[in-house]
Chains A and B, each alone.
Chain A
Amino acid sequence: MRRTVAALLRKELLVELRTLESVPGMSLFAVTTFVVFHFALSRNTVEGDLGAGILWVTLLFAAILGVNRLFVADAEEGGFDGFLLAPVDRTALLVAKALTLLAYLLVLELIAVPAFALLLLGPPIGQALPELLGVLALGDLGVAAIGTLVAALAVRTRARDLLGPLLGLPLLVPVVIGGARATSPLFALSHPTAPAARWLLTLGLYDLVFGLIAYALFDFLLED
């Protein structure tokens, strides 16, 4: 299983490095969105609830871009058949794709969070950074699990670009709730405080449940 996941991951990252079709797009989209928000809200800085909300919504929509492209190369070219013919555990594909999406999200955040701090965020981000990274990591796990499941559902349908977001966004609302609520005290203007434990717990529970569900159901999407 681990060997298969490693082989798949290698292929994924190789294709992404060759085509650069996911990560640069996601990152550029996020930075552009921050600019759009500046004009849409007519504000130079944001903090607290508003800041947390803008960050999470932007990351979410950028993530959807990545989700949409996750299985496209397989569906169109290499074909799932190549993988399905191999004597391997099929759930390895889920794990490899989720890890790939996670990697994309981490790179996205590496670019988007500093951009956000630079362009829009009022309070300095320095001290809140470790907690912020923790919250982002928890959120990323949820997005990776659900994003992969939804991408697999949507890719072999006729309206794949539309169905991905339509299925994914409602499912990700609790992640946004947990993530934004956990982040807003970190962006408080006066004195930032740590995120409330209940939101971290919500995020963690959600990640766990949907990780397990994705694991249990993924095989049914692959076979015919």
Chain B
Amino acid sequence: MYGKGLRALSISTVVAMTLALSLVFFYAPLDAEQGFLQKIFYVHVPLAIVALCGFIAGALLAIMHLRTRDPRWDLRSYVAIHMSLIFGVGALITGSIWAKGSWGHWWVWSEPTLVSFLIVFLLYATYQPLRFAIEDPERQSRYASVFAITAGAFVPLNFIAVRLSTAYLHPRVLGSTSNLPGSMALTFVVSLLAIALLFVTLCKFELTAKHTRAQIRALRRRLVGEMPDTLERRSRSAAPALSPGGAVGAHTASRTVL
């Protein structure tokens, strides 16, 4: 059964986000130097951290896919990466706004995290075009998994390389949270939790939607019979499609040959 726990997750996400927002606006102190703009840090850094963890999770899920050949792992990997890409765009935009406020430019090369993020984003932006360019669904999943693992290994190495190369500008609150005064640290942790929950909930939503759609397709087949290719023209998509043998497992075992 899919969608189990979705309601609980959604509620906790809403609660966490409300809590985080209230902390950010009403509890966390105003930064001495950057003023109100600094509060964007509570959105930008969690978005970046969650996106990066999402990319690495995508790589781990891809490893599971290659080991087990179960297409459900590939679906999870796809959802994790594509959600991380969206969160990553959010991180880049909020980072850019913060840069404009703090240093006066919409983009700064001296901020290694932002720069590495840009490179990681450019890499993962090719994930969907890659999938879209392969028509055989099984090969699409396999190649996507190889890419996800390579890119996942790339993320930490890239951060190290870029950090080494930029004149390291250490902004006030970027860096370890041990530098933060108590109230800021608390707000940060709550924000991080809220955004992480948001990520997991959105992923779960997407996974549930895809599984449900696959189940509907399989049921329709059982009722109507095998449809000739000309009638059932599904447009090509970058998303993995679950084949009858995949998500719907036990149900299709009893399919009779029509």
- A–B direct touch, CB within 8 Å, in complex? yes
Which residues from chain A sit less than 8 Å from chain B, CB to CB? 149, 153, 156-160, 162-163, 166-167, 169-171, 173-174, 177-178, 181, 198-199, 202, 205-206, 209-210, 213, 217, 220-221, 224
B153 at the interface (CB under 8 A from A): yes
Q: Is the CB of B126 within 8 A of A213?
A: no
Q: Which residues of A contact B129 (CB under 8 A)?
A: 159, 162-163, 166
Q: Which residues of B contact A221 (CB under 8 A)?
A: 142-143, 146
Partner of A171, one of B146, B154, B164, B165: B154
B33-92 contacts to A, CB under 8 A, are: 66
Q: Which residue of B lies closest to A174 (CB)?
A: B161
CB distance from B205 to the nearest CB of A (A): 29
Q: Once the chains are docked, how many angstroms separate the CA of A170 from the CA of B126?
A: 10
Q: Which residues of A contact B151 (CB under 8 A)?
A: 171
Please tell me which stretch of B133-141, B188-196, B244-252 contacts chain A, meaning at least 4 of its Cβ atoms lie within 8 angstroms of it.
B133-141
Partner of B157, one of A153, A167, A174, A181: A174
B80-132 contacts to A, CB under 8 A, are: 119-120, 122-123, 126, 129-130
Partner of B147, one of A153, A158, A173, A210: A153
Q: Is the CB of B142 within 8 A of A171?
A: no
A to B CB contacts below 8 Å, 14 in the list: A158-B133, A163-B129, A163-B133, A167-B126, A169-B122, A171-B150, A171-B151, A174-B158, A174-B161, A181-B165, A198-B164, A199-B164, A210-B150, A221-B142
A-B pairs, top 9 by smallest CB distance, nearest first, are A170-B123, A157-B133, A174-B161, A158-B133, A166-B126, A217-B146, A159-B133, A170-B122, A177-B165
CB distance from A110 to the nearest CB of B (A): 28
Dominant SS among interface residues on chain B = helix
Q: Which residues of B contact A162 (CB under 8 A)?
A: 129
Q: Which residue of B lies closest to A170 (CB)?
A: B123
B149 at the interface (CB under 8 A from A): yes
Q: Which residues of B contact A163 (CB under 8 A)?
A: 126, 129-130, 133
Partner of B164, one of A156, A159, A202, A209: A202
Q: Once the chains are docked, how many angstroms separate the CA of A209 from the CA of B123?
A: 18
Q: Is the CB of A224 within 8 A of B139?
A: yes
Chain B: interface residue count, which band? 20 to 34
Q: Which residue of A lies closest to B125 (CB)?
A: A166
Q: Once the chains are docked, how many angstroms separate the CA of A153 from the CA of B150?
A: 11
Q: Which residues of A contact B165 (CB under 8 A)?
A: 177, 181
Q: Once the chains are docked, how many angstroms separate the CA of A224 from the CA of B161?
A: 36
Partner of B153, one of A156, A157, A213: A213
Q: Which residues of B contact A181 (CB under 8 A)?
A: 165
Q: Which residues of A contact B218 (CB under 8 A)?
A: none
B13 at the interface (CB under 8 A from A): no
CB distance from A135 to the nearest CB of B (A): 15
Q: Once the chains are docked, how many angstroms separate the CA of A178 from the CA of B160?
A: 11
Q: Is the CB of B153 within 8 A of A149?
A: no
Q: Mark B144-174, 1 if CB is under 8 A from A, else 0.
A: 0111011101100110111011000000000
Given contacts A170-B123, A220-B142, whether A209 and B153 have CB atoms under 8 Å apart is yes
Interface centre among B122, B130, B143, B146 (most CB of A within 10 A): B146
Q: Which residues of B contact A167 (CB under 8 A)?
A: 123, 126, 130, 147
Q: Once the chains are docked, how many angstroms separate the CA of A153 from the CA of B130?
A: 9
B192-212 contacts to A, CB under 8 A, are: none
Q: Which residues of B contact A177 (CB under 8 A)?
A: 161-162, 164-165
Q: Which residues of A contact B164 (CB under 8 A)?
A: 177, 198-199, 202
Q: Which residues of B contact A213 (CB under 8 A)?
A: 149-150, 153
CB distance from A209 to the nearest CB of B (A): 6
Partner of B149, one of A156, A171, A178, A217: A217
